[in-house]
Amino acid sequence: MKTVHNFNAGPCVLPREAVNVAIEALKDFAGTGMSVIEISHRSKEWEAVMKETEDLWKELLEIPEGYRVLFLGGGASLEFLMVAMNFMNKKAAYLETGVWAKKAIKEAKAFGETVVVASSADTTFNYIPKGYTIPADADYFHITTNNTIYGTEIKEDMDSPVPLIADMSSDIMSRPVDVSKYAMIYGGAQKNVGPAGVTFVIVKESALGKVERYIPTMLDYKTHIENDSMFNTPPVFSIFVMNETLKWVKKMGGLKAVNKMNQDKADLLYAEIDRNSMFVGTAEKDSRSIMNVCFVMSPEYKEKEADFMAYAKERGMVGIKGHRSVGGFRASIYNACPRESVEALVKCMQDFEKENK
Protein backbone atom coordinates (compact mmCIF):
# COMPACT_ATOMS: atom_id res chain seq x y z
CA MET A 1 0.00 0.00 0.00
CA LYS A 2 1.38 3.40 -0.88
CA THR A 3 2.22 5.79 1.93
CA VAL A 4 0.47 9.15 1.87
CA HIS A 5 -0.07 11.99 4.29
CA ASN A 6 -3.84 12.26 4.59
CA PHE A 7 -5.02 15.79 5.43
CA ASN A 8 -8.60 15.31 4.24
CA ALA A 9 -11.23 17.37 6.08
CA GLY A 10 -13.75 14.56 6.49
CA PRO A 11 -14.09 11.70 5.91
CA CYS A 12 -10.48 11.62 6.90
CA VAL A 13 -7.62 9.68 8.41
CA LEU A 14 -8.61 7.12 11.07
CA PRO A 15 -6.34 5.17 13.40
CA ARG A 16 -4.77 2.38 11.32
CA GLU A 17 -5.46 -0.05 14.15
CA ALA A 18 -9.18 0.70 14.05
CA VAL A 19 -9.26 0.16 10.29
CA ASN A 20 -7.40 -3.14 10.64
CA VAL A 21 -9.71 -4.46 13.35
CA ALA A 22 -12.66 -3.47 11.16
CA ILE A 23 -11.22 -5.45 8.26
CA GLU A 24 -11.06 -8.54 10.48
CA ALA A 25 -14.60 -7.97 11.75
CA LEU A 26 -15.83 -7.73 8.18
CA LYS A 27 -14.60 -11.30 7.80
CA ASP A 28 -15.61 -12.72 11.18
CA PHE A 29 -17.29 -10.68 13.90
CA ALA A 30 -16.65 -11.71 17.53
CA GLY A 31 -16.18 -15.35 16.56
CA THR A 32 -19.76 -15.61 15.26
CA GLY A 33 -18.71 -16.99 11.87
CA MET A 34 -20.49 -14.01 10.30
CA SER A 35 -19.39 -10.60 9.13
CA VAL A 36 -20.20 -7.56 11.28
CA ILE A 37 -22.41 -6.46 8.37
CA GLU A 38 -24.26 -9.79 8.38
CA ILE A 39 -25.20 -10.19 12.02
CA SER A 40 -28.50 -9.19 13.61
CA HIS A 41 -28.41 -5.88 15.42
CA ARG A 42 -30.55 -7.61 18.06
CA SER A 43 -27.88 -10.23 18.77
CA LYS A 44 -26.20 -10.21 22.17
CA GLU A 45 -22.80 -9.74 20.52
CA TRP A 46 -24.02 -6.54 18.86
CA GLU A 47 -25.82 -5.26 21.93
CA ALA A 48 -22.52 -5.57 23.77
CA VAL A 49 -20.84 -3.32 21.18
CA MET A 50 -23.60 -0.69 21.53
CA LYS A 51 -23.25 -0.69 25.30
CA GLU A 52 -19.48 -0.59 25.20
CA THR A 53 -19.48 2.29 22.73
CA GLU A 54 -21.76 4.42 24.92
CA ASP A 55 -19.61 3.52 27.95
CA LEU A 56 -16.44 4.58 26.12
CA TRP A 57 -17.98 7.96 25.34
CA LYS A 58 -18.97 8.39 28.97
CA GLU A 59 -15.56 7.37 30.23
CA LEU A 60 -13.42 9.41 27.82
CA LEU A 61 -15.46 12.61 28.13
CA GLU A 62 -16.27 12.05 31.83
CA ILE A 63 -19.94 12.57 31.01
CA PRO A 64 -21.92 13.22 34.21
CA GLU A 65 -25.06 11.34 35.31
CA GLY A 66 -28.25 12.38 33.56
CA TYR A 67 -26.84 12.37 30.04
CA ARG A 68 -27.30 9.82 27.27
CA VAL A 69 -25.13 9.21 24.23
CA LEU A 70 -27.09 8.36 21.09
CA PHE A 71 -25.96 7.00 17.73
CA LEU A 72 -28.23 8.19 14.96
CA GLY A 73 -28.42 8.58 11.19
CA GLY A 74 -28.77 11.73 9.12
CA GLY A 75 -25.47 13.43 9.89
CA ALA A 76 -24.91 16.65 11.79
CA SER A 77 -27.05 18.23 9.09
CA LEU A 78 -30.19 16.50 10.36
CA GLU A 79 -29.35 17.60 13.90
CA PHE A 80 -29.61 21.22 12.74
CA LEU A 81 -33.34 20.57 12.33
CA MET A 82 -33.80 18.17 15.25
CA VAL A 83 -32.19 20.58 17.72
CA ALA A 84 -34.67 23.34 16.87
CA MET A 85 -37.62 20.94 16.75
CA ASN A 86 -36.82 19.41 20.16
CA PHE A 87 -35.61 22.48 22.05
CA MET A 88 -37.20 25.64 20.65
CA ASN A 89 -40.54 26.87 21.86
CA LYS A 90 -40.40 30.50 20.80
CA LYS A 91 -36.86 31.77 20.53
CA ALA A 92 -33.33 30.52 20.05
CA ALA A 93 -29.94 32.22 19.85
CA TYR A 94 -27.10 31.30 17.48
CA LEU A 95 -23.47 32.29 17.02
CA GLU A 96 -22.73 32.56 13.29
CA THR A 97 -19.17 31.37 12.75
CA GLY A 98 -19.37 29.74 9.34
CA VAL A 99 -21.31 27.82 6.76
CA TRP A 100 -22.28 25.02 9.14
CA ALA A 101 -23.61 27.53 11.67
CA LYS A 102 -25.55 29.23 8.88
CA LYS A 103 -27.13 25.94 7.91
CA ALA A 104 -28.17 25.35 11.51
CA ILE A 105 -29.66 28.85 11.65
CA LYS A 106 -31.63 28.25 8.45
CA GLU A 107 -33.32 25.17 9.92
CA ALA A 108 -34.07 26.92 13.23
CA LYS A 109 -35.96 29.72 11.48
CA ALA A 110 -38.76 27.30 10.65
CA PHE A 111 -39.48 26.82 14.37
CA GLY A 112 -39.45 30.31 15.87
CA GLU A 113 -37.56 33.54 16.38
CA THR A 114 -33.92 32.89 15.61
CA VAL A 115 -31.50 35.50 16.91
CA VAL A 116 -27.96 35.68 15.57
CA VAL A 117 -26.07 37.16 18.54
CA ALA A 118 -22.87 37.77 16.57
CA SER A 119 -21.32 36.87 13.25
CA SER A 120 -17.87 36.85 11.71
CA ALA A 121 -19.27 36.75 8.17
CA ASP A 122 -17.78 40.22 7.52
CA THR A 123 -14.27 38.75 7.22
CA THR A 124 -15.04 35.29 5.78
CA PHE A 125 -15.41 33.86 9.27
CA ASN A 126 -11.72 34.14 10.14
CA TYR A 127 -12.33 34.79 13.84
CA ILE A 128 -14.58 33.82 16.74
CA PRO A 129 -16.74 36.82 17.79
CA LYS A 130 -16.51 38.00 21.38
CA GLY A 131 -18.42 40.38 23.62
CA TYR A 132 -21.95 39.50 22.53
CA THR A 133 -25.00 39.09 24.75
CA ILE A 134 -27.00 35.90 24.89
CA PRO A 135 -30.69 36.75 25.34
CA ALA A 136 -31.87 35.40 28.70
CA ASP A 137 -35.28 34.45 27.26
CA ALA A 138 -33.88 32.18 24.52
CA ASP A 139 -34.70 28.49 24.79
CA TYR A 140 -31.08 27.67 23.98
CA PHE A 141 -27.83 29.08 22.60
CA HIS A 142 -26.20 27.23 19.71
CA ILE A 143 -22.50 27.31 18.86
CA THR A 144 -20.21 25.53 16.41
CA THR A 145 -17.05 24.85 18.41
CA ASN A 146 -14.78 24.12 15.45
CA ASN A 147 -15.29 25.75 12.09
CA THR A 148 -13.89 23.13 9.80
CA ILE A 149 -13.81 25.29 6.67
CA TYR A 150 -12.16 28.39 8.17
CA GLY A 151 -9.90 26.87 10.81
CA THR A 152 -11.31 28.71 13.81
CA GLU A 153 -12.19 27.12 17.12
CA ILE A 154 -13.87 27.88 20.44
CA LYS A 155 -11.56 26.02 22.80
CA GLU A 156 -13.17 26.89 26.12
CA ASP A 157 -16.44 25.58 27.47
CA MET A 158 -18.34 28.83 27.94
CA ASP A 159 -20.91 29.79 30.54
CA SER A 160 -24.34 30.42 29.08
CA PRO A 161 -27.41 31.81 30.87
CA VAL A 162 -29.59 29.46 28.75
CA PRO A 163 -29.07 25.81 27.73
CA LEU A 164 -25.96 25.54 25.57
CA ILE A 165 -26.00 23.33 22.46
CA ALA A 166 -22.86 22.68 20.43
CA ASP A 167 -22.05 21.25 17.04
CA MET A 168 -18.70 19.57 17.80
CA SER A 169 -18.48 17.61 14.55
CA SER A 170 -14.86 18.44 13.91
CA ASP A 171 -13.29 18.77 17.35
CA ILE A 172 -15.08 16.23 19.51
CA MET A 173 -12.61 13.98 21.35
CA SER A 174 -9.73 16.31 20.54
CA ARG A 175 -9.66 17.74 24.09
CA PRO A 176 -11.41 17.28 27.43
CA VAL A 177 -14.84 18.95 27.52
CA ASP A 178 -16.88 19.98 30.55
CA VAL A 179 -20.04 18.25 29.35
CA SER A 180 -22.02 19.57 32.34
CA LYS A 181 -22.01 23.01 30.69
CA TYR A 182 -24.00 21.73 27.70
CA ALA A 183 -27.60 20.61 27.24
CA MET A 184 -26.51 18.83 24.09
CA ILE A 185 -23.41 18.15 22.00
CA TYR A 186 -23.64 16.55 18.58
CA GLY A 187 -21.78 15.90 15.36
CA GLY A 188 -21.12 13.67 12.42
CA ALA A 189 -18.61 10.96 13.30
CA GLN A 190 -16.54 11.28 10.14
CA LYS A 191 -13.98 13.79 11.40
CA ASN A 192 -12.57 12.53 14.67
CA VAL A 193 -14.53 9.52 15.85
CA GLY A 194 -15.20 7.18 12.96
CA PRO A 195 -16.42 6.75 9.42
CA ALA A 196 -19.40 8.56 7.87
CA GLY A 197 -22.85 7.14 8.53
CA VAL A 198 -23.28 7.66 12.26
CA THR A 199 -24.09 10.84 14.18
CA PHE A 200 -23.32 11.16 17.88
CA VAL A 201 -25.63 13.03 20.24
CA ILE A 202 -24.81 13.66 23.91
CA VAL A 203 -27.99 14.94 25.49
CA LYS A 204 -29.04 15.91 28.98
CA GLU A 205 -32.31 14.08 29.54
CA SER A 206 -33.81 16.74 31.79
CA ALA A 207 -33.39 19.36 29.03
CA LEU A 208 -35.85 17.51 26.81
CA GLY A 209 -39.65 17.51 26.83
CA LYS A 210 -40.04 21.28 27.09
CA VAL A 211 -41.63 22.01 23.72
CA GLU A 212 -45.31 21.91 22.92
CA ARG A 213 -45.28 20.89 19.26
CA TYR A 214 -45.79 17.39 17.92
CA ILE A 215 -42.41 15.79 17.18
CA PRO A 216 -42.38 12.98 14.59
CA THR A 217 -41.22 9.69 16.13
CA MET A 218 -37.88 9.42 14.34
CA LEU A 219 -37.04 13.07 15.01
CA ASP A 220 -37.75 12.88 18.73
CA TYR A 221 -34.65 12.36 20.89
CA LYS A 222 -36.80 10.60 23.47
CA THR A 223 -37.58 7.84 20.97
CA HIS A 224 -33.89 7.11 20.62
CA ILE A 225 -33.23 7.34 24.35
CA GLU A 226 -36.04 4.91 25.16
CA ASN A 227 -34.77 2.46 22.55
CA ASP A 228 -31.03 2.71 23.30
CA SER A 229 -30.39 4.05 19.76
CA MET A 230 -32.03 0.97 18.27
CA PHE A 231 -35.54 2.21 17.46
CA ASN A 232 -34.59 1.36 13.90
CA THR A 233 -31.58 -0.48 12.52
CA PRO A 234 -28.48 1.46 13.56
CA PRO A 235 -25.51 2.04 11.20
CA VAL A 236 -23.81 -1.09 12.50
CA PHE A 237 -20.51 -0.90 10.65
CA SER A 238 -19.94 2.79 11.35
CA ILE A 239 -20.62 2.25 15.05
CA PHE A 240 -18.22 -0.67 15.08
CA VAL A 241 -15.40 1.46 13.68
CA MET A 242 -16.31 4.27 16.09
CA ASN A 243 -15.95 1.82 18.97
CA GLU A 244 -12.47 0.85 17.79
CA THR A 245 -11.53 4.51 17.27
CA LEU A 246 -12.53 5.33 20.85
CA LYS A 247 -10.54 2.37 22.15
CA TRP A 248 -7.56 3.85 20.35
CA VAL A 249 -8.15 7.24 22.01
CA LYS A 250 -8.21 5.46 25.35
CA LYS A 251 -5.02 3.59 24.52
CA MET A 252 -3.30 6.85 23.61
CA GLY A 253 -3.91 7.98 27.18
CA GLY A 254 -7.33 9.62 26.93
CA LEU A 255 -8.32 13.16 26.04
CA LYS A 256 -5.67 15.06 28.00
CA ALA A 257 -2.92 13.13 26.25
CA VAL A 258 -4.59 13.36 22.85
CA ASN A 259 -5.08 17.10 23.32
CA LYS A 260 -1.39 17.51 24.04
CA MET A 261 -0.52 15.64 20.85
CA ASN A 262 -2.95 17.77 18.87
CA GLN A 263 -1.61 21.01 20.31
CA ASP A 264 1.94 19.93 19.53
CA LYS A 265 1.07 19.14 15.89
CA ALA A 266 -0.82 22.41 15.49
CA ASP A 267 2.01 24.44 17.06
CA LEU A 268 4.49 22.86 14.67
CA LEU A 269 2.46 23.73 11.59
CA TYR A 270 1.44 27.24 12.67
CA ALA A 271 5.06 28.02 13.56
CA GLU A 272 6.10 27.17 10.02
CA ILE A 273 3.25 29.19 8.50
CA ASP A 274 4.33 32.19 10.59
CA ARG A 275 8.02 31.73 9.82
CA ASN A 276 7.77 30.98 6.10
CA SER A 277 7.54 34.20 4.07
CA MET A 278 5.73 32.46 1.22
CA PHE A 279 2.67 31.54 3.31
CA VAL A 280 0.23 33.29 5.59
CA GLY A 281 -2.41 31.90 7.96
CA THR A 282 -6.00 32.98 7.33
CA ALA A 283 -7.52 32.65 10.83
CA GLU A 284 -6.83 35.29 13.48
CA LYS A 285 -4.21 33.99 15.89
CA ASP A 286 -6.39 33.84 18.98
CA SER A 287 -9.10 31.93 17.08
CA ARG A 288 -6.86 29.32 15.47
CA SER A 289 -8.12 25.76 15.37
CA ILE A 290 -5.93 22.86 16.37
CA MET A 291 -7.88 20.59 13.99
CA ASN A 292 -8.03 22.47 10.69
CA VAL A 293 -5.10 24.69 9.73
CA CYS A 294 -5.89 27.14 6.92
CA PHE A 295 -3.29 29.13 5.01
CA VAL A 296 -2.74 30.83 1.67
CA MET A 297 0.26 32.03 -0.35
CA SER A 298 1.56 35.44 0.73
CA PRO A 299 0.31 38.15 -1.66
CA GLU A 300 3.68 38.45 -3.43
CA TYR A 301 3.70 34.71 -4.20
CA LYS A 302 0.04 34.35 -5.13
CA GLU A 303 0.87 32.98 -8.59
CA LYS A 304 2.78 30.08 -6.98
CA GLU A 305 -0.31 28.45 -5.51
CA ALA A 306 -0.75 25.80 -8.21
CA ASP A 307 2.99 25.08 -8.09
CA PHE A 308 2.94 24.41 -4.37
CA MET A 309 -0.12 22.22 -4.73
CA ALA A 310 1.66 20.09 -7.34
CA TYR A 311 4.89 20.06 -5.29
CA ALA A 312 3.05 18.86 -2.18
CA LYS A 313 1.10 16.26 -4.11
CA GLU A 314 4.31 14.80 -5.47
CA ARG A 315 5.50 14.37 -1.88
CA GLY A 316 2.42 12.41 -0.87
CA MET A 317 0.27 15.18 0.63
CA VAL A 318 -3.43 14.46 0.15
CA GLY A 319 -6.38 16.74 0.77
CA ILE A 320 -4.63 20.06 1.39
CA LYS A 321 -6.73 22.12 -1.01
CA GLY A 322 -8.59 24.80 0.93
CA HIS A 323 -12.37 25.03 0.80
CA ARG A 324 -13.50 27.09 -2.20
CA SER A 325 -14.87 29.85 0.06
CA VAL A 326 -11.42 30.47 1.60
CA GLY A 327 -9.06 29.26 -1.14
CA GLY A 328 -5.44 28.33 -0.59
CA PHE A 329 -4.72 25.36 1.62
CA ARG A 330 -6.19 23.53 4.56
CA ALA A 331 -4.47 20.79 6.47
CA SER A 332 -6.86 18.86 8.68
CA ILE A 333 -4.80 17.35 11.46
CA TYR A 334 -7.34 15.35 13.42
CA ASN A 335 -6.50 12.95 16.27
CA ALA A 336 -5.38 10.14 13.99
CA CYS A 337 -3.15 12.33 11.80
CA PRO A 338 0.38 11.27 12.79
CA ARG A 339 2.99 13.86 13.78
CA GLU A 340 5.14 12.53 10.92
CA SER A 341 2.56 13.77 8.43
CA VAL A 342 2.69 17.28 9.91
CA GLU A 343 6.50 17.12 9.89
CA ALA A 344 6.42 16.08 6.24
CA LEU A 345 4.17 19.02 5.35
CA VAL A 346 6.41 21.45 7.24
CA LYS A 347 9.47 20.08 5.42
CA CYS A 348 7.62 20.41 2.14
CA MET A 349 6.91 24.10 2.84
CA GLN A 350 10.52 24.72 3.84
CA ASP A 351 11.91 23.05 0.73
CA PHE A 352 9.47 24.87 -1.51
CA GLU A 353 10.62 28.16 -0.04
CA LYS A 354 14.29 27.29 -0.60
CA GLU A 355 13.65 26.36 -4.23
CA ASN A 356 11.28 29.17 -5.15
CA LYS A 357 12.14 32.30 -3.24
Ligand X SMILES: *Cc1c(COP(=O)(O)O)cnc(C)c1O
Shortest distance, position 156 Cβ to ligand X, whole Å: 17
User: What is the distance between the alpha carbons of residues 208 and 201, in angstroms, rounded to a whole number?
Assistant: 13
187 φ, ψ to 5°? 175, 160
Q: Is 46 a catalytic residue?
A: no
Binding residue for ligand X, selected from 29, 46, 94, 100, defined by CB under 6 A: 100
Q: How many residues does the chain have?
A: 357
Binding residue for ligand X, selected from 43, 77, 124, 263, defined by CB under 6 A: 77
Binding mask 142-181 for ligand X (x = CB under 6 A): --x---x------------------x-xx-----------
Residue 6 binds to ligand X (criterion: CB under 6 A): no
| DSSP state, residue 155 | -
Pick the closer one to ligand X by CB: 104 or 297.
Answer: 104
Pick the closer one to ligand X by CB: 21 or 98.
Answer: 98
Residue 194 binds to ligand X (criterion: CB under 6 A): no
Binding residue for ligand X, selected from 36, 39, 49, 76, defined by CB under 6 A: 76
Q: Is the peptide bond before 15 cis (omega within 30 degrees of 0)?
A: no
Q: State the Cα angle at 311 between 308 and 312, rounded to 5°.
A: 85
Shortest distance, position 169 Cβ to ligand X, whole Å: 4
Residue 238 binds to ligand X (criterion: CB under 6 A): no
Stretch that binds ligand X, among 29-37, 51-59, 74-82, 326-334 (CB under 6 A): 74-82
Catalytic one of 139, 167, 171, 220: 167
Q: Is 167 a catalytic residue?
A: yes
Closest among 161, 192, 157 to 64, alpha carbons compared: 157
- How do 67-72 and 113-119 pair as beta strands? unpaired
Complete DSSP assignment for 194-250:
S-TT-EEEEEEGGGSS---S---GGG-HHHHHHTTT-SS---HHHHHHHHHHHHHHH
Q: Is 302 a catalytic residue?
A: no
Which active-site residues does the annotation give?
100, 167, 191
